[in-house]
Amino acid sequence: MTKKYRSDAFASIHETMEALHDIGAIGKQTMREFDDACLTPTTALSAEEIRLLRLREQISQPVFARYLNVSKNLISDWERGVKKPGGPALRLLTVVQKKGLSAIA
């Protein structure tokens, strides 16, 4: 998946910093700080937001699970608030929320 930057300027700065990291001019910690500053943050989604997102896309829990490459039980847990999505799953949910299911299909 491609990185989503806050702006074109941040994308240019981040690309330059990645090049400096690749040649050893800056360390991992500095690169992490630039990642935090340049990349679009993900925000936690509530159980209701996840359910409404799935309903907006007009798909069942099992089908949504297949798109996200998770189990149907996990989708159910998210929608009931038993568990919360994180990492790659949260990023995918954010993409679906902003661009629709076709963005990850």
Indicate whether 34 belongs to any domain. yes
Range(s) of the domain holding residue 31: 8-38
**How many domains, in total, are found in the chain?**
2
Q: Are residues 64 and 95 in the same domain?
A: yes
**pLDDT of 97 over the 60 cut:** yes
Closest CA to 74 of 91, 52, 89: 89
**pLDDT of 1 over the 70 cut:** no
Q: Are residues 53 and 22 in the same domain?
A: no
Indicate whether 81 belongs to any domain. yes
Residues in contact with 16: Cβ distance below 8 Å, sequence separation at least 6, in sequence order = none
pLDDT band at residue 2 using 50, 70 and 90 as cut-offs: low
| Other C-beta atoms lying within 10 Å of the C-beta of residue 37 | 12
Q: Are residues 72 and 31 in the same domain?
A: no
Q: Is 69 left (phi over 0), alpha (psi -120 to 50) or beta?
A: left
| Other C-beta atoms lying within 10 Å of the C-beta of residue 96 | 22
User: What digits encode the pLDDT tens for the residues 3-44?
Assistant: 677 778 877 887 888 898 899 998 888 888 877 777 767 789
Q: Are residues 65 and 85 in the same domain?
A: yes
pLDDT of 18: 86
Q: Are residues 24 and 72 in the same domain?
A: no
pLDDT of 43: 85
Please state, in angstroms and rounded to a whole number, the distance separating the CA atoms of residues 92 and 74.
14
pLDDT of 36: 74
Q: Are residues 56 and 29 in the same domain?
A: no
User: What digits encode the pLDDT tens for the residues 49-86?
Assistant: 999 999 999 999 999 999 999 999 999 999 999 999 99
pLDDT of 41: 72
Indicate whether 2 belongs to any domain. no
